[in-house]
Structure 1
Amino acid sequence: MSTRRRHIAHLHLHARLTEEQYGHIIELVSGITPHVQAVPPDAVQLDLTSALRYFDMSPYEAVHMVKMRLKALYDIDCSAGLAGNRMLAAMAADASAPEATTWVPAERAAQWLAPRPVAALPGIGRSTAATLGKYGLHTIGQLAELPPATLQRLLGSAQARLLAERARGHDPRPVVAAEPAEHLSVDQVLDRDCLDPAEQHRAVLGLADRLGQRLRGQGQAAGRLTLTVRYADRTSTTRTRTLPESTGHSPALAGTALALLAGLGLQRARVRAFTVRADDLRPAAAAHRQLSLDPGADRARAVEAAADKARRRFGPGAVRPGTLAGAGPQVTGR
């Protein structure tokens, strides 16, 4: 069994994020380490262990790099905790002042935990804290020094074993990615009723591009696409189409989304919002791709991969399709 010391960071994001914005944050930090666990709606955990050699940084420097990128690209401040496991990193982040980082080295974990109140330990709620308080157990250090048999009589064997381990700073849980979502969706609300087919085309094209970015960022491919159009009178129309093959390739998604739009015949409709949703998701690595003799198809995917890399480094607005350049309707989206 490997005894390599782990370095886990827990970041509290001081911002109210939409689902899409939070997804962009996960994509950004995934460019630093592949071991990222989402803690929605405003936190994220990273296992930096394998990234430290690559970047030739100390754990503290790596956390500082993540915080700088979040500030530079998204204007998001965050407090952070850095420790040898997930529990300690989360507790250290909770104890950090805004924009500060608290580092709890493994050799100082017991010393750092000892004076903290028992209620700060994950798994101890008000009722358990009150029970421990009746017996003079007010700090984590007191809990760690208590004989296991005594703690079992107070709390029962299962909870006692768990809390005894946590009071000593132990947490074996790895940082793991969350289960993939059943579907992904993006929407766009226009700031005025839209009757212009060109602007409607442009809006749906932009949504398909954003959806493709999210799918590729999560390593997913969609098998079905749904377009919902909401009108000024609050009615809506929904159309669904199965894709020729599961994909996260933006041009393929755009082709299907625009075909759905064209089929609605909205020449005189007063459109207020669009939603494009991807269903029947599966891992991109498991999706079958039809071989093509067209070298342009491979070039397009290579350009797309390079654009995704640039967005992860410089922000989601760093690269845009040429068809979306220039002025357009003001929108809000998620």
Structure 2
Amino acid sequence: MDRIILHCDLNCFYASVELLSHPDLRDVPMAVCGDPQSRHGIILAKNEPAKKFGVQTAETIWQAKKKCPDLVLLPPHHDLYREYSRKVNAIYDEYTDLVEPFGIDESWLDVTHTLHLFGGDARALADALRERMKRQLGLTLSVGVSFNKVFAKLGSDYKKPDATTVISRENWNELVWPLPVGDLLYVGGAARKLLKQYGITTIGQLAACKPEMLETLMGKMGTQLYDYANGLDRDPVRSRYDTEPVKSVGNGTTFPQNLTTREQVHAGIAVLADSVASRLRHAGLYAGGVQVTVRDPQFHDRSRQRQLAAPTHLIRDLTDAAMELLYELWKPPSPIRALTVTAIHLVQEGEAYEQVDLFSSGPGKEKQEKLEGAMEQIRKKFGADAIVFGAARPEKEEDPLP
């Protein structure tokens, strides 16, 4: 028996919530954005009139104002958005216990075993949900209805705003395959660019590829995308009350000023590695690998990752590995706007001990474990800022290298 899955996407969520308090702006171009005076000044959401001017989420404010000089800018109110997100998901809970949020404004609902309680017609249920959301909360939804999560999400994206799209066993080839490959879940800019090099620009062309070829090009992600394009996704809808295994632990930051020296970058990496190491300790996890992402002032991201010789949660190990990766991506004085350090290939504490014993570097490693363990105890007692790893404290800045 096919599953019946809805993907509900709140239209222009941040902007829609703000418009509840500013109904006079409903018909004029308006956007929610970060601080226009800071480097975080990007568009977070926009209303439909702003969309008609080509204003896009995540572009800078000056780019948006260039397209639409009369664009009205409002500051974000994240507590309010979280409050409305809770209200929306509480409504979804009345229809099924399988509600899986995908960000603050999207959720999957598996109504396979409850649809009969609401009339038995999936499209009618989606339409009823849209009407209820407008009447009760003043927000609009786009809803995709399908037999798996990937196609349900494609359905909610297919027609906006305030629409229902059904992607069924009978019509999915006709609806899905002509779509751009970038519309498929998890096909980001880098994957899209790679696939384009091989003439793959639509989901249908991706579906026609041999899975072995895609695996060679993209690893496990390639075979996953093959399944997605061919309607073979079987990923379950998980209740938000179910704990999902942690797959990675990362931290990133945008710096107030571009980093241009090795000393600045090392200090930034060390701070991020310290945060990641602390979170790993609290979760009883060890990193089997590290990934570093560098963003330049033009918002171009580049990433590298590698397996570690042995699982670790030590700040020193994470910092050293991250710096090695960084030097594959960056040469001073090229400016760095933002950095992210991510622990990947995570293993539980018990599993890690067996592997660490095989590769341990002896007393030095034990001493570092005791040192960082003591740091954690101090932080628990006196606060997170009570003590920092030495390399995390910026030293005197050096001049940019020639």
Higher RCO (CA < 8 A, seq sep 6+): 1
TM-score normalised according to structure 1 size = 0.50
